[in-house]
Amino acid sequence: MSRLAFDSEHEGQTGVDDAWIERWRAGMRSDIAVLLDTFASRFGFPPGDHGVSGPATAAELDGLARLHGGAVPGDLLSFHRVVAEVELPDVNNGYWIHRPPLPGADPGHPRRLSDGRAVVVFGSDGGGALFALAGGSGSPVLRLADGSFLGGAYEADCATEIAANLQNFLTFLHRELTGFVASSIGKRHGVRSPQ
């Protein structure tokens, strides 16, 4: 997965606001409804649990802040104030944005890279990769895959920048869902999707 796959009309923008996140959430929910309606007829079995939740609780936001201190990017906090979690288990390899942890909980994800950069893991895919943001608003999204996690640090050489910022990553997720839904509808009606 290359960074180019995530670039969008939002390239260069460095922040997300509540209105943008709410529009993104509404679009995702609409496309998920279509996916759920077409999935069984396309694949012959029921879909997994797909959804885009409402906001994280105050306790979850507090847990995220306590776990990472000042390293939590403002864009991620803004996102979680509108959306706590995303589940897309059947879209391609599967995508998840994790619900923030409660105070005292530690999901065991890396919090720094071997080059010293602080990271906040916020999601994963069905192949075992983790998605993380480096510190600071507008920071790039990193994909952590195939590296070692030793001494509390994840191997920096295996942290690949895949999106310029969180907004580009979220736009990518929506495009992945939209493309999957479009191919589901096409197959349902006997239309072949372009390869």
Q: Determine the average pLDDT of the residues in 125-144.
A: 91
Q: What percent of the chain has pLDDT over 70?
A: 86
pLDDT value of residue 195: 34
Q: For residue 15, what pLDDT band results from cuts at 50, 70 and 90?
A: low
pTM (two decimals): 0.86
The answer to whether 88 and 179 are in contact (CB under 8 A) is no
What are the distances in angstroms from CA 78 to CA 8, 46, 71, 75, 149? Answer: 20, 33, 14, 5, 28
pLDDT value of residue 168: 96
Q: Determine the average pLDDT of the residues in 108-135.
A: 95
Task: Tell me the C-alpha distance between 184 and 74, whole Å.
Answer: 36
Is residue 148 packed enough to be buried (19+ CB in 10 Å), middle (13-18) or exposed (0-12)? Answer: exposed
pLDDT over 90 (residue 154): yes
